[in-house]
Chains A and B, each alone.
Chain A
């Protein structure tokens, strides 16, 4: 027991009053969480418009698309994009979505807002680092956006920036001079921001849990944010040196990734002996854990929300936490499964294939436990609950194709096709975004003090759910039919008979994208016109529901929360079918 009241180092929280300190350079984790959310929201719409442009071009390659020539007169003369400009858009779509949406929204945004509240803390462990983390991310975002506006446009090397294409400079094609520099700088800066963020998340979880909040009593999404922050800490710490070496290859004439004897644009490149595979190893050592940085928080969010609407405790809570830890641990042993066709030693492919298949075990345990939680439940079908169920559906759909791709003999055939596009969009992108949607509908009342409109929410869910299946299911077929990915158009070749499928996917993508406007409208409308939210509108147990909506500046209005129960006390017999974590009532033994 220690009394810190006399400790001058303790920083007492008083709400700031100036505009800049309150809304811009805020130290409050709740404001920073909303800033991340806003950045992710802007980014996701940019990324979505890019995908529309690509899809339109894939289906109708000769059609001029209005306004694209305004974005780049060289890349899309008269509105018809060149193959290179298609690759630029592909690169930016992937980069924006993976880094600024899938990393920012489920992890940085919701984690910042709710991790401290869920563990009963007043703020993050290092509020100043937290503020720096967001603004560094914002600087990284500005660098990335700047790539659209430099003379040669954004880079064409994909979100994975494979060397030597990404390393040699402007001789190799458009976007590879200043555009690729901006990309590399942006990602390096993003790494620093993510490292600061991860450091904060881990310290906060370890040091700032309130009395009674043992690790086992943390809500599942707090667990997911904690595991994710450990993954992020170790993964971004590898991508940062990789980016430094890439920048040196590009600007200082070193040869880390560039082999000798490359002749580009009739010029012999002044490099020798570098290893393009080295970049792939470094990148995917980060890149595979990054997949789990995107998906684990959403798994945690779903595992937290689903019991609330099933009115049943989550099945196997310890197995859920154990599976998340196992996935985090295994994520560091499988990076080579992205490289089965890279030319690395085929024997090492087997070595990466086995742990990849082992990952399916904890992932399957998680999925079955989520399904088991719903089994026999009297579900309350709110928008948040629907998105949780949708998450399980798309996670299974995307996960099953993973069984095939984990085997080198099958991946060799499927790797460069739309089968892989279908796989990763389902299991990582759509599943993660469904977790974000579920989190938004669930926590919006807490964040704003107002409920989101449920009718619009349900329309949004059904249109999105059917839409993503219409977009990504046919891509499996395209891939099996041998339709290669990364090509800007399929004219006059063997894939011409598949064009009707592409047209179907494009129309589905446009409609599904348009359905997101319902969500955007709902966000804005409910912020001002939504029904006023009570303290605990969903009858949930975790600590954020023991404080006002929205929470006061110090989260609990000077109260110091004491925790008596785990987060999983639902389906209790009695007048109230749940027990709050802060309630001294003893949970019945099950």
Chain B
């Protein structure tokens, strides 16, 4: 056990992650804080949100399986074809997000963050962020077209448990995805404020969320395909 004592009011820099190891203390001038950096906290937070959203959809999808098994009144119908196209659009958005990430990552290891090359990398990455958000909106548009298609067949929310679950899944996933689109604008705003330092912009947290929305949709689609 360390027995280091500090003079009162000493400026120290400390590693804030609790590890249980004896504290390492280095006196250094300047302001200190014990709180973690923004990027780390937001990533932890998003992983926790991913767990909660997984439970949310697990409850919905197990309800569907139970409801389908309880009463033989399940109406099977053809899923609108536009959904497969919008799925591709959503998968493409994960790819464009990865393009953005690579540019930010390269810029962050550049020796001079203010150099023209680094700046151009960052603005290029931000461009791919816009593309990602636009593809997300395009996906939501595709879902709306799918709803239109269903309505044209006379399938409404209350028509049958199958259509009820279809609307519930697509609507709740869509709302979560629109939250992600808001995240695009939040990250872009922060990137401008932090001069393109992706680590501090919540970009890492955002990309976990966005990729998760992709995986979640693929899961829901596979379930719909196998059950409808």
Q: Which residues of A contact B (CB under 8 A)?
A: 1-5, 7-12, 119-123, 125-126, 195, 198-199, 202-203, 206-217, 233-234, 236-238, 240-242, 244-245, 248, 252-256, 259-260, 272-275, 277-278, 281-282, 285, 560-562, 564-565, 584, 586-587
Q: In the complex, which of the residues A244, A278, A564 contacts B2, with contact meaning CB atoms closer than 8 Å?
A: A564
Docked Cα-Cα span, A121 to B172, in Å, equals 35
Tell me the nearest residue of chain A to B34, going by C-beta. A560
Beta-carbon contact of B3 and A215 below 8 Å: no
Q: Which residue of A lies closest to B6 (CB)?
A: A562
A8 close to B194 (CB less than 8 A):
yes
Report whether A256 and B164 are in contact in the complex, using a CB–CB cutoff of 8 Å.
yes
Tell me the minimal C-beta distance from B212 to chain A in angstroms.
14
Given A210-B34, A238-B56, are A199 and B49 also a contact pair (CB < 8 Å)? Answer: yes
Seen from chain B, the residues whose Cβ lies within 8 Å of a Cβ on chain A are: 1-5, 12-20, 22-26, 28, 30-41, 44-45, 48-49, 51-53, 55-60, 63, 66-67, 70-71, 73, 157-158, 161, 164, 168, 172, 190, 193-194, 200
A214, B18: Cβ atoms closer than 8 Å: yes
In whole angstroms, what is the CA distance A12 to B135 when docked?
Answer: 37
Q: Give the contacting residue for B59; candidates A7, A216, A241, A260; CB below 8 A.
A: A241
What 12 additional pairs, Cβ within 8 angstroms, besides A4-B35, A9-B190, A203-B48?
A1-B13, A2-B15, A3-B32, A9-B200, A119-B18, A208-B34, A241-B63, A254-B157, A272-B73, A275-B66, A275-B70, A564-B1
On chain A, the residues within 8 Å of B24 by CB distance are 1
- A2-B15, A195-B52, A214-B18 given; A282·B63 CB < 8 A: yes
A120–B32 CA distance with the chains assembled, in angstroms: 14
B59 to chain A: which residues have CB within 8 Å?
A: 237-238, 241-242, 282, 285
Contact yes or no, A275 B56, CB < 8 A? no
Which of A122, A195, A273 has the most B CB atoms < 10 Å from its CB? A273
- Given known contacts A199-B52, A242-B59, A253-B157, is B194 in contact with A9 (CB within 8 Å)? yes
A278 touches B158 (CB 8 A): no
Tell me the minimal C-beta distance from B176 to chain A in angstroms.
Answer: 12
**A254 near B164: Cβ-Cβ < 8 Å:** yes
Chain A nearest CB from B188 CB (Å) reads 15
A202: chain B residues at CB < 8 Å are 44, 48
The answer on a CB contact under 8 Å between A8 and B200 is yes
**The one of B25, B36, B60, B194 that contacts A207, using a Cβ cutoff of 8 Å:** B36
| Alpha-carbon gap, A564 to B6, bound state (A) | 14
B13 proximity list for chain A (CB < 8 A): 1, 3, 5
Q: Complex formed: what's the CA distance from A99 to B150 in Å?
A: 39
Task: Report the minimal beta-carbon distance from B27 to chain A, rounded to whole angstroms.
Answer: 12
Q: Which residue of A lies closest to B73 (CB)?
A: A273
Given contacts A1-B26, A7-B38, contact A125 B45 (CB under 8 A): yes
Once A5-B31, A237-B53, A237-B55 are accepted as A-B contacts, the answer to whether A213 and B18 lie under 8 Å apart by CB is yes
Are A212 and B23 in contact, with the CB atoms below 8 A?
Answer: yes
Q: Chain A residues with Cβ under 8 A from B18's Cβ? A: 119, 209-215, 217
